[in-house]
Structure 1
Amino acid sequence: MCDKKYFILNEPVSVVIAYQEAESDEEDTFKIDKGQLGEIIDQRNHALFLPGWVRIAHGPNDEFFVKMSNLQSVAEWLTENEYQAKVAAKQIFQETWLDKEKQIELIKTLEVCKWLPNTTTSGIPYSVPVYLPIGTVGKVYELAWDYEGSDDKQYWVMGIEVAGGQHYDVMYPELLKASKAFGNS
């Protein structure tokens, strides 16, 4: 594996979604904007499709294939410490009640995502929107940064568990607007 692993894009670069069918080719590409941070997670040295491409992680949940020669021409390579410092700089550490109180009660209807297993050959789970009603009680069990190409620095994904043990993903700002600390009037 090459020693270049972490990067920031100086120009947009064309990528392919990592989870699409193995017969994908360059016709299925779209662009990631400049200024985005990423990490090479697999050199794909024995790739049967898209040879010369690498697998990258962009945020905690997105993985793409990108042609290594294209990436090299538009990326500024970073050390791990430089990369972590740039990720931290994108985060806002502005506390809200939600950072202190993990028990929540909905005061508005809230759209959340439920992950379902995929029974097709790819086996990749997929999400479906679910609407939780006013009065739903739950707790935050997981927090992750998820930029999704947005300039919104407080764009977090939270995992919540509601009564009955169901788990959902929801964006931090939406949960903050639609809930209150459980037991507070």
Structure 2
Amino acid sequence: RPVTTHGLAKLFDEASRQPCSTISLLNTDPSLLPIETVSIQVARSAKLASFNAYRKCCGFPPLRSFEDLTSNNDVREALKACYGGDIEKVEFFPGLFAEDVRPGATLPPLMATMVAVDAFSQALTNPLLDPNLFNKDTFSEAGMAVIASTASLADIVRRNIVGEKVDPLVSLTRRDIPGS
């Protein structure tokens, strides 16, 4: 309903102007805690590997200390208490959300890598990217011209808001970081 009530332009504009909440531990709305608890229980039942094992699998060096994981002292102390001071015991989900976000980044390093691998593996296997399908016979000459002229998410949004009164800001980056 928000799209039909307020319009796509207004929603993108408001979303682009809102600072993103931090992806981290100790930043979960209380209403979501039961879901987080179940996630940990399912991970334990499935015997997911440790956070460090996932880091190694993705080409990152293993962490040697909680200080390597996070600069947030409250998070560090909570994890040390939970895992008996052993960084190797940190489970996948807590580690994923405890890891510091690098300056200018949106996600912590391991999470960003996993999201990127998933996104690209899905995109590159999309049948529409097959040279036998990605052509004017599938999309028409006009459609191929529109695809070729599309350089950003903003282009797609603007193409789909004809008649709306808002000229939206469309951005996935923070404006306070140089080069974004």
TM-score of the aligned structures, taking structure 2 as reference length: 0.19
Larger radius of gyration: 2
TM-score (norm. length: structure 1): 0.18
With a CA cutoff of 8 Å and minimum separation of 6, indicate the structure with the bigger relative contact order. 2
Higher strand fraction (1 or 2) = 1
Q: Which of the two has greater helix per residue?
A: 2
